[in-house]
Structure 1
Amino acid sequence: MFRSAWTGTEIVKAILKTKRCRHLRCYSISSGPASSPTLLVRPFGNPDPDILQSDFTLLPHFYTAAETRQLLAAALWKLDRGDSTRRRRSGPSHPQAQLPHTSSANSPPLADLFHGQYGFEPGHYDAVIHQYRESLMSTLPTPSSSSYPDLITLLHKAYALLLPDSTSIANGTPPSNVITHLLHLSPEGQIKGHVDNLEASGGVISGICLGADRILRLSKGEAGSSEKGWDVLLQNGTVYLQRGRLRYEYEHSILPYDSTDSNWDGRPLVPGHRVSVMIRDAPKA
């Protein structure tokens, strides 16, 4: 059963529990009391489970629905400040930019917070990321009593998870030994398979998932023949950590919605916007 909130002690216990779970079976989802549990991780190609156990931590529902609204509101505010399309259309001459998307029972989580037009980049310089916006978060937005009053506390939970011994947030600035990066993927966006550059970041990366469900693929080998790895269902409020061999020997990607594998339990994922807050430990000088 998922908890609606995580304390510091529960975070540590959850990580240890994840390490002991052979296929992350301790973390499952259920659409109702009578339904069967659904695993959040599905292997393909007979991968080595020891690598997943040692190098991957999955914490579903780490943040409550209310907490994810605060985090997403702050992230979108920061992203919009660097988006020329949003700046041009935020004035009174473009009132349509303030209209929310139509929400329904089938809408992705937090769909009502995404509205108007965004200045998505068609492709990253290395051709890995497509249809996206991004921003470094070197300073934190000023907490707002109405939109994100608990922002510092919520981010502190994530920083403590990555680096328990160095988590201070002073004067609205993230800890000096981490890099915080915001990435907004459009419903048409994707991240192609890649491994991280060891010289550009440290040994651990964590991701806070906000918005629509997406599938993270961790793979090694040639596609269609010797490929092996895992697909991970990333839901709103989930936090994951990736380290070691799984980060630098396995490619990681976010599947596009039109992929035949963008489904879970035979049901296609509902397309929607997704923002991830990526936190890396800074590389050593």
Structure 2
Amino acid sequence: MHSLQTRFAGLPEGFKFFPDFLSLSEQRTLLSAALTKLDSTETKQARKRRKDFLANHPQEHRVIEDIFLPDAYYNFQEGHYDGVIRHFREMHLSSWSEDQNPGLSSILARLQGLHPTSNVQTHLLHLSSVGEILGHVDNIEASGTWILGVSLGAARVLRMESTSNPEDFFEVLLTSGSVYLQMQVQDSVRYDYNHSILKADRFLGRGITAGQRVSIMVRVS
């Protein structure tokens, strides 16, 4: 077993990890833009509840988690159609509102510099404080040969476990602002490992505080 925090230390071929890719200001910009997109898919009543809450509870944004409202102000789904994701909101993103978010274009350009190819699709996934993703291998036809994940909000543990040998696994602490990239190589983690996002627990003996997170998943089209 390899429990990892540091960049590339001991990581298998086909998995790259950038633990501090985004600055705090970049995280705030990107998370605010992502939540605005997710909020736009919900009802007027839900949006009004959030607006009323904010009017009575000004946000200080001392830490990235302060951008989230309490769980009760989001319409989280209990379970995904395939049973893999629990307590979440999601959407497929066709475009970002770059003109409405100063600084967003430069952040997206930095992320695009990590893309192995240019034709991509983007998926936003918002997990509640008790949300989780159970172990699975992404649909190869739908997801392509690489996938890039951006983490924003509460830290969670990403567990990668071999589909043929449960004793062959590694874990990475996905802190806010971190980015990882899975790519297809021979015997790669892209196709031969289940991946899961665990509920708040412990990592290297350190407790992990429960909280919401948004992941931005970019895949080859």
TM range (shorter): 0.7 to 0.9
Q: Report 1:164-243 matches (<5 A).
A: 166=118, 177-221=119-163, 226-243=166-183
Q: Deviations over 1:22-55 (max 9, x none)?
A: 997853xxxxxxxxxxxx97xxxxxxx6xx4321
Paired residues in the alignment total: 215
Contact 1:143 1:150 (C-alpha < 8 Å) held by counterparts: no
Supply the distance in 1 between the matched residues of 2:49 and 2:58 (Cα, whole angstroms).
19
Structure label with greater radius of gyration = 1
Which protein, 1 or 2, shows the higher relative CO under an 8 Å CA cutoff with sep ≥ 6? 2
Q: Secondary structure at the match of 1:209?
A: strand
Which runs of 5 or more residues in structure 2 are unaligned? none
The one-letter code matched in structure 2 to 1:263 is R
Residue of structure 1 in register with 2:194 after alignment:
251
Change (3 A) 1:56 1:101: farther
Output the aligned Cα RMSD: 2.8
The one-letter code matched in structure 2 to 1:270 is T
Give the drift of 1:57.
0.3
- Larger fraction in strand: 2
Supply the distance in 2 between the matched residues of 1:93 and 1:212 (Cα, whole angstroms).
20
The one-letter code matched in structure 2 to 1:91 is K
Supply the distance in 2 between the matched residues of 1:115 and 1:140 (Cα, whole angstroms).
22
Contact 2:60 2:66 (C-alpha < 8 Å) held by counterparts: yes
Residue of structure 2 in register with 1:112 after alignment:
66
Change (3 A) 1:129 1:248: same
Change (3 A) 1:139 1:264: same
Q: Does 1:90 align with 2:47?
A: yes
Change (3 A) 1:140 1:256: same
Q: Secondary structure at the match of 1:54?
A: coil
Residue of structure 2 in register with 1:130 after alignment:
86
Q: Secondary structure at the match of 1:240?
A: strand
Change (3 A) 1:99 1:183: farther
Supply the distance in 2 between the matched residues of 1:279 and 1:93 (Cα, whole angstroms).
28
Q: Deviations over 1:189-234 (max 9, x none)?
A: 0000000111112111001110110000000258xx8432101000
Supply the distance in 2 between the matched residues of 1:250 and 1:233 (Cα, whole angstroms).
17
Which runs of 5 or more residues in structure 1 are unaligned? 1-21, 28-39, 42-48, 167-176
Residue of structure 2 in register with 1:272 after alignment:
211
The alignment's TM-score, normalised by the length of structure 2, stands at 0.86
Give the drift of 1:143.
2.7
Give the drift of 1:100.
5.0
Change (3 A) 1:227 1:99: farther
Give the drift of 1:135.
1.0
The alignment's TM-score, normalised by the length of structure 1, stands at 0.68
Q: Secondary structure at the match of 1:90?
A: helix
Match of 2:106 among 129, 149, 153: 153
Residue of structure 2 in register with 1:8 after alignment:
none
Change (3 A) 1:196 1:240: same
Give the drift of 1:139.
1.5
Q: Secondary structure at the match of 1:271?
A: coil
Contact 1:183 1:276 (C-alpha < 8 Å) held by counterparts: yes
